[in-house]
Structure 1
Amino acid sequence: MAGTTRHDARRRRRSTGAARAGAIACAAVLAAVGITGSALAAEGGGDDLVEGTPCTVTARACVDKDARTAWLIHGGRVTHGPVDIGLGADGQETPKGTFTVQWKNKDHRSAEFGGEPMPYSVFFAPGGIAFHEGDPDHPSAGCVHLRYDDAVTFFEDLQVGDEVQVH
């Protein structure tokens, strides 16, 4: 260490010690967060699924595209369903994701499809995607078809701002 003084060597030891102490403190914080995160995951951490559905407890409406079924949920419990549903046709698939109810119209008519009736519409996804009365055995243009009684129940139960999960 040619050209360095004892003062320089002491400063280097202090800064190395401070860096080491900082690294140890950082590791301790990360370990604590990891432990807490593991505990939350073990307790569910807000990702609890509603029994019998693929949806979390925050959902008010749940759609399982693979099973072609839907449910209404309140307080983490199924209040209606499972019910049979119709989904979007090939090329017009019902989108997957988490959405919120945007608006409702009991007597809606489609502007896109020549005024076709869409009774008891509950709009929840971009592109005019809604739950509405329709034959579950016939594909839609992306909407979720429900039998009459189920459409009425979904319309009456869901409110603007409610969460809809589509899996």
Structure 2
Amino acid sequence: MPSRTIRRNRAATAAVAALVVVAGIATAGVATADAEAENSEAARQTHAEKQVPGTPCSVSARACVDLETQRAWLIENGAVTHGPVPVASGGAGQETPIGHSFRVYRKEADHTSGEFTTPEGQPSPMPWSVFFADGGVAFHGGDRDRASAGCVKLDAVEAQRFFTDLENGDKVQVLNATTERDERAKLATA
């Protein structure tokens, strides 16, 4: 009997250790996401490009999101054509991903979520969805008073504007203005 107990305890200890390792890896991934994004080739290219005045983004972007100030812009030929407009981005544990070279890959005017439901149990509406990052991350209309599950929420009028102006293949940059300023300053002094 004691050997069974020891085996069960060893199995339980191994299972707990595996969970701790997995949790540590997941947490490390969140903690280092910004650093990895800033050390990517796309980030280095972005920092070498001219910056669009009044935004943290480069002239190659068609849409720009500043997670720090919760604002977004539409850009054409290196100039702001619309914005800044207020946005709501992902909350704790569901942060909107930082990226220097996302691309619009799908647009759906009447999209509904496959993951989230309304209090009535219906799929949550995501009007004027413009998808640009893995995992279904999109610009879309929604309540800006609450954090999203990773998307960039705009009010309905702004969501329709982003939907109308952006096309498949357009570059989207989602950044943190302070980090971008610091990275550009490092490049300028190098």
Identify whether the pair has TM-score above 0.5, normalized to the shorter chain.
yes
Letter of the aligned partner of 2:88 in structure 1? G
Secondary structure at 1:110's aligned position in 2? strand
Tell me, in whole angstroms, the C-alpha distance in 2 between the residues paired with 1:71 and 1:135.
Answer: 18
Deviation per residue, 1:88-129 (Å, 9 max, x gap): 010000000020001000000011113110000000000000
Consecutive unaligned residues of structure 2, counting only runs of 5 or more, are 1-46, 118-122, 176-190
Residue 100 of structure 1 corresponds to which residue in structure 2? 103
Of the three residues 161, 172, 177, the one matched with 1:164 is 172
* 1:142 Cα deviation from its structure 2 partner: 0.2
Tell me, in whole angstroms, the C-alpha distance in 2 between the residues paired with 1:143 and 1:160.
Answer: 17
* 1:136 Cα deviation from its structure 2 partner: 1.6
Letter of the aligned partner of 1:93 in structure 2? E
Deviation per residue, 1:135-166 (Å, 9 max, x gap): 22211100000011100100000000000000
Secondary structure at 1:153's aligned position in 2? helix
* 1:58 Cα deviation from its structure 2 partner: 0.3
Structure in which a larger fraction of residues adopt helix: 2
* TM-score between the two structures when normalised by the length of structure 1: 0.72
1:77 aligns with 2:79: yes
Bigger CA radius of gyration: 1
Of the three residues 144, 154, 158, the one matched with 1:146 is 154
Secondary structure at 2:114's aligned position in 1? coil
The total of aligned residue pairs comes to 124
Of the three residues 126, 150, 168, the one matched with 1:118 is 126
Tell me, in whole angstroms, the C-alpha distance in 1 between the residues paired with 2:88 and 2:143.
Answer: 7
Letter of the aligned partner of 1:126 in structure 2? D
Query: Percent identity of the aligned residues?
Result: 57
Secondary structure at 1:149's aligned position in 2? helix
* TM-score between the two structures when normalised by the length of structure 2: 0.63
Residue 109 of structure 1 corresponds to which residue in structure 2? 112
* 1:80 Cα deviation from its structure 2 partner: 0.5
* 1:46 Cα deviation from its structure 2 partner: 5.7
Consecutive unaligned residues of structure 1, counting only runs of 5 or more, are 1-44
